[in-house]
Amino acid sequence: MNEFNNLIHGEWVAGTGYSPNVNPSDLSDVIGRYTQGDAAQVDAAVAAATAAFPAWSTGGVQARSEALEKIGNEILARKEELGTLLAREEGKTKAEGIGEAARAGQIFKFFAGECLRLAGEAIPSVRPGIGIEITREPVGVVGLITPWNFPIAIPAWKIAPALAFGNCVVLKPADLVPGSAWALAEIIHRSGIPAGVFNLVMGRGSVIGDALVNHAGIHAISFTGSVGVGGRIAVACAETHKKVQLEMGGKNPQVVLDDADLAQAVELCVQSAFYSTGQRCTASSRLIVTEGIYPKFIEAMKARMAKLKVGDALAQGTDIGPVSSQSQIEQDLSYVEIGRSEGATLAVGGERLKRDTEGYYMAPALFSESAPGMRINREEIFGPVASVIRVKDYDEALAVANDTPFGLSAGIATTSLKYATHFKRHAQAGMVMVNLPTAGVDYHVPFGGRKGSSYGPREQGRYAQEFFTTVKTAYTNA
């Protein structure tokens, strides 16, 4: 059995033991054994990053750009292999895995260019004879903590801007799916960047994540994960004076108006509610449908969902792979029971499925006749479970869409320019989609939300520099 170690100061080092990485499509398939680090390894990784920082942060943008370009090119050249590994360990389909791997490659290539474009300002002082320069400098040593649902894209969209802008990195990937992050670390290791600039410490969040968040040598934490963990990290970062960026959960609304193109609306609802097994922070879990189209919408959703093929993530023809883990499928199935007990109608799905191999298979579930106040409409389920809320008109749809503690992504299906325009302006979300699924975004523009979904500067695109740099104002009396 292959064993995979942590990367600290350019060396592969074993932690305190190994943990199996199990394929959720086939529980008898162990992908590899990944080491479990400890707080001492976090200390060593932070020390390595600290030592590497002076040279990396001042060594010039050409070397950084070349390294990022090389990493991006290798990921793209190996996207089939990396995407297959990703699908095998996380459970999204092979096509989705390859798409995610390709996205990771594109992100590195984007930031290869972006580090050459970091600009400052030169402006006159209010005092004659004095000049002012406003520049951006790297933050220092950054800790990156990532979730299991995008095991290569999320590490990529944090690592690439961190390195591009001259920071040194300690990455702690999700314990459930360390394989894709390890493969990415191995590519970064061979890219020619100096030892210590990038470090990987795998292990439990309560051990490695906690040690990073509380470490005096870490200057900033970029976290993606659940609201509960994110909130605790924000408090710890405030107490230890770290810059912090949190991307957290969602309960994203998808509005469907009477004037929508029904076939298009059904397709985008199925896509954003159930693809990637509904395990996307941007998934639509509340389908808010006006009463004129409601009966047709429910029937069309049922017909479309009957055609969805749930199966092994790597098998040809699979639309929906397994749920990622035992605890996640238990949570998903328990919410199906909660929805029933709250009085919503289970229109289709919601049961555990048997396949040729033992895995976490579940039939995507759709509730109809659900009410906005039900727990299934307020709490993030993070699985293939969506519910439909019937509303009178656009105004009620918008009010229901915004009635949530979250604010990541919001969508509307309509042929009306008036409603589309109003929704873009008034949806309380960081990302708004018109006649598109709430999930599925470009890699070169900002990503993030409002309210309980996000905290701190946006990720991705040129906005990423806000978090991964710090501003300096210099005065010169020439």
Binding positions for ligand NAP, rule: CB under 6 A: 145-150, 172, 174-176, 204-206, 209-210, 213, 224-226, 229, 233, 247-250, 281, 380, 382, 408, 453
Query: What phi and psi values does residue 418 have, to the nearest 5 degrees?
Result: -60, -50
89 is catalytic: no
Q: How far apart are CA 189 and CA 67, in angstroms?
A: 10
> Under 8 Å CB-to-CB from 85, ≥6 apart: which residues?
31, 97, 179, 180, 183
- DSSP assignments along 125-170, one per residue: -SSTTEEEEEEEEE--EEEEE--SSSTTHHHHHHHHHHHHTT-EEE
* Contact call for residues 97 and 90 (beta carbons, < 8 A): yes
C-beta closer to ligand NAP: residue 119 or 216: 216
- Please state the closest distance from residue 43 (CB atom) to ligand NAP, in A: 16
- Please state the closest distance from residue 24 (CB atom) to ligand NAP, in A: 14
C-beta closer to ligand NAP: residue 259 or 379: 379
C-beta closer to ligand NAP: residue 23 or 453: 453
C-beta closer to ligand NAP: residue 25 or 279: 279
Closest of 215, 218, 182, 216 to residue 39, by C-alpha: 215
C-beta closer to ligand NAP: residue 74 or 210: 210
Residues 74, 90, 247, 380: which is the catalytic one? 247
Closest of 469, 478, 355, 474 to residue 119, by C-alpha: 469
- Please state the closest distance from residue 129 (CB atom) to ligand NAP, in A: 48
- Please state the closest distance from residue 77 (CB atom) to ligand NAP, in A: 26
Tokens, residue 190 = 């061979």
C-beta closer to ligand NAP: residue 205 or 349: 205
C-beta closer to ligand NAP: residue 144 or 348: 144
- Please state the closest distance from residue 81 (CB atom) to ligand NAP, in A: 23
- Please state the closest distance from residue 228 (CB atom) to ligand NAP, in A: 7
- Please state the closest distance from residue 248 (CB atom) to ligand NAP, in A: 5
Q: Match 């325009």 to its residue by tokens.
A: 421
Q: How far apart are CA 43 and CA 13, in angstroms?
A: 14
C-beta closer to ligand NAP: residue 206 or 473: 206
- Please state the closest distance from residue 291 (CB atom) to ligand NAP, in A: 30
Closest of 393, 465, 475, 471 to residue 117, by C-alpha: 465
**For residue 317, is it left (φ>0), alpha (ψ between -120 and 50) or beta?**
left
Q: How far apart are CA 206 and CA 199, in angstroms?
A: 19
Q: How far apart are CA 78 and CA 349, in angstroms?
A: 36
Residues 74, 168, 281, 380: which is the catalytic one? 281
* Contact call for residues 376 and 385 (beta carbons, < 8 A): yes
Q: How far apart are CA 389 and CA 400, in angstroms?
A: 9
3-state secondary structure of 66: helix
168 is catalytic: no
Tokens, residue 467 = 């978090």
DSSP run (H or E) holding 42 = helix 39-58
Q: How far apart are CA 161 and CA 219, in angstroms?
A: 15
Which residues are annotated as catalytic? 247, 281
